[in-house]
Structure 1
Amino acid sequence: MMTGTGCLCVTLLLLLHRADSERFEVLGPTRAIAAVAGDDIILPCYIKPNISAEDMRVDWFRVNHPDPQSNIRVHLYQDGRDKYHDQIRSYEGRTSLFKEELKKGNTSLKLTRVQGTDDGQYKCLVKSKTHYDDATIQVHIRAIGSKPEVSIEGQKEGGMGLLCVSKGWFPEPELEWLDSEGVTLSAGPSETDRDYKGFYIVKLKTIVKETDTNHFTCRLRQRQLSEQINMETEFHIPSELILVHTDTWRVAFAVIVSLSIVLVVILAFTIWRWNHLSNDYDASKAKHSQELEKVQDDKKCRLKILTNQLDFVNMKRCPELESIRRHAVDVTLDPDTAHSQLILSEDRKQVRCGDIKQELPDNLERFDKVHYVLGKEGFSSVRFYYEVQVEGMTGWTLGVVSKSINRKRMIHLKPDNGCWTVWLRDGEYKALTGPSVPISRSEPQKVGVFVDYEEGQVSFYNAEARSHIYSFTGCTFTEKLYPLFYSGTIDNSAPLVITPVYVTD
């Protein structure tokens, strides 16, 4: 018969044997994985010994993610299924495990259509009920961008300004200006930006003077893992162009000096004449006052007539708007995207900013940092048009954005980030081109938004005055576009209102 002490020893031995049988190692590749942007890659990770991982937790996440405010999870498998509730937004729809291979201990991750933001370290963590281990994988992304494009910025102090721009690179390349002898020209620091996929956009400016050849070169260099890529764009400035600009400034200076002299003479004469006539003016002031009132009444009458005529002309000065209005679509607001402080009407046609935050589900589509809301439907490969009433508002933003716009942090509204918008702030109307462009227009009461997806164009119209406000052209759209609405702060008593579009035959 076994004593109590013997039973305890046997139980401990069985538990130790069971725990030891569930111990495993997580192994990954010994070298970094290199990938070309746009390709699909596999991040190898497997368990040794080859026991089943079907009932384990498989967690893939980024190490030292460049955005500290972003989630770090790339993919999570738990309780026999994939979970995406806190996945990094840029990985949505691009990650998957090999489900049939999990029973063999294969926990590798497939990542499709790699982009610049995918560059970095990944950790594969596998955890059972009693044990866990992990492996680290390094990924290097390579993207070859556009050939440098050179343009003239115009006359600058000391010479002619040139700009060199190249887009779509990873890792970041270097730009350099050279003269016809291959000597490096002085230039300011490079301007670097990144698009929403993490690819680099670099710009470099320089100021050049006339030379024997007027040939200049913008050279791009990028160090890849095992090679260096070089690209060059040569540019020639005609001597006539430099001379024209130089002569123009000389003529302008001479004209300014001459005008200044004339103005001084006129001012002196005016002061003398004013003093001479001041007494006569006081004597006839009463008489002229009555005549002036009569003239002003006459001007008011004429102004009213001209205003009515101008309204009629404005109705006719943008004839293409009537054909554009035939592409009208029914736009409604998407409550799942609305910031918690926004109040939507029951018919989803109006939005205004409230003074308190509402208790709403924290889903992936909802804006957290800014008071934005999107249209319910997205559009691609079509032309579409809608109108929004902005009457009585002190601030608003309208336009379209790409589907992948980040909803969980502050957004820089510009085309490079997938945003084509205009706004009213502090009494100024601007097109948000990054940097923004002031728009000199009369105050619109209703704004029309037109998108030609295939032509790459987003246009804004004063719908009541039938006049054009601003157009983004030469755009490249790669995903669905959604209408964007910003109704300002609680200071705005009036809401944004999506209005019906009536087409005139």
Structure 2
Amino acid sequence: MKFICVTLLIITGITHSDEYEVIGPSAPVMTVSGEDVILPCSIKPNISAVNMRVQWIRLDLKGSIVHRYEDHKDINTNQLQSYRGRTQVFKEELEKGNTSLKLSRVQISDEGLYKCFVQSESWSDDVTVDLKVEAVGRLPVITVDGFDASGGLHLQCESKGWYPEPDLVWLNSEGVTLTSESTDTHRDDTDGFSVKHMITVYNTDTKYHCRVRMNHHMMEAEIITSSKMFHSWRSSVILISVAVVLSVIGVILITVFVCKKRELQREKQRIKKEDQRILNEKEREKQRILKEDQRILNEKEREKQRILKEDQRILNEDQRILNEKEREKQRIKKEDQRILNEKEREKQRIKNEDQRILNEKEREKQRIKKEDQRILNEKEREKQRIKNEDQRILNEKEREKQRIKNEDQRILNEDQRILNEREPLRRTVESETSRFRKHAVNVTLDADSAHPCLIVSPDGKQVRYEDKQHETVKNEDTGHKNKFDKCLCVVGNEGFSSGCFYYEVQVKGVDWWCVGVTRESAQRKGGFFLYPQNGYWTVGLRYGDYWAGEDLSLLSLSVNPERIGVFVDYEKSRVSFYDVKSMCHIHSFTDQSFTEKLYPVFSFGYESSNSSGSLIICDLS
């Protein structure tokens, strides 16, 4: 009875050890048309799948076979035609339980549900993998499609090769969305979606944009309608219309005759090809049935062989258990003898250990005696070393005092020299600053030009940066032609086109700033650098360093300026910057070219800033 129970337990354990789980990704697998993709699938635990049957099936095409691996080779006789030459399993990875499928040159029609089916001799399991395909189409093409009765010009925009379906919109020059008069969307299993929208416009010398967007992909084309386009199209339409009417009559008669003849020929060819296709289909079906019958016979034969092997394995297992019991008896007998021998050796070891302890104690006494003597000698040497070290420290302190005294005297002399050198320069800068203030102007900020993240005070004398969410900034009015939409800038209300003018701005507490002047026509939309070649003459503080806008020249300042003076001499084409508090000249732009109004400009950087303080325009009245 015990023997039967043991046998059943062994069989049950072996049966359960053959079980496994096929796992795959929980989220859809994303790819782009034309690229290669791997559909993940593996066995848990990681056992070898070399001797198993691995089959990939397309579920949304009624279980059509995509790839099949069996008997250590690929068997793709019944594989879908569209997957021929594009699928493979990683045979070197099958040993590790990796049954993933590589699909090359992905097509739009490959999107769908795939089943990974793995079968061993005693177990099978499967998992479903969802494949999503994207295709980025071609650049939109704008064509002119004639005039309507009221003289409007038809503009047609078309873009092909997208998947999934994209959004196509028309925009005018101000970015306002225009309503399409007609739309046409066509889907092809190979090339994806083709979209076509048409609008009618009546304005000349106007730019129109056609934009196609899909998820995070976007393409855009533009066209400018000119007055010549309207006149040439009207003339062409009249001439073409007369020619077309005459041509169409002749072409229709010829086309009717040719089409009738070709239709009869195509019908004959189609009937002949259909007959041939039916014959080929019948032949393939016969071959498939024969192969399937042969596969079933082979499967039955393998099952018989497996049952015979299993019976032989059980008999061998019974014999192994009997042999194991006999070996266990012999092992117990040897173990008893080993324990007796071990006890005898332990007695002898204890006796030897006692003798060793006595000898060790004697040696320890001798060692302690020698160690006491060594410690006495060491203490004596340490006393002498400490005495020498104290003397050395006293000498070192004396030398250090003398060095510090000499260094203090040198610093005092250097400070006196710097004061003597700077005094004439300070008096010159102070005199210059007094002269500049005679040209002081009342600067107020133009709130309409300020970036949406800049807050201008009601009196127009202060501006600060306030961090806003991207969507909030996007929804604010950035379409004003004078408003900055990327650079965190604002300009003054008044511009100057002659003479001299001077103003001061407090920058204390702001760790990223730029101040200076800009010409009236300088770029304000999009991203750009505050360089003279772009119409900006500025100095500023960035990343802890002071820079001039002239190719970002690094400035070397002895103190951090808290109040900046800006002086412009329009006739001499010169812009100068001064540190008002320390009376120091910072930088000058000379030999510039001024041909239009100049406006004061203030900046906190590009798109975002960490500055928390405010730029304050000082009252010089």
TM superposition score category, shorter chain reference: 0.3 to 0.5
Greater radius of gyration (CA): 2
Q: In proportion to residue count, which structure has more helix?
A: 2
Q: In proportion to residue count, which structure has more strand?
A: 1
Q: TM-score when scaled to structure 1?
A: 0.44
Q: TM-score when scaled to structure 2?
A: 0.37
Instruction: Give the number of the structure with larger relative contact order, counting CA–CA contacts within 8 Å between residues 6 or more apart.
Output: 1
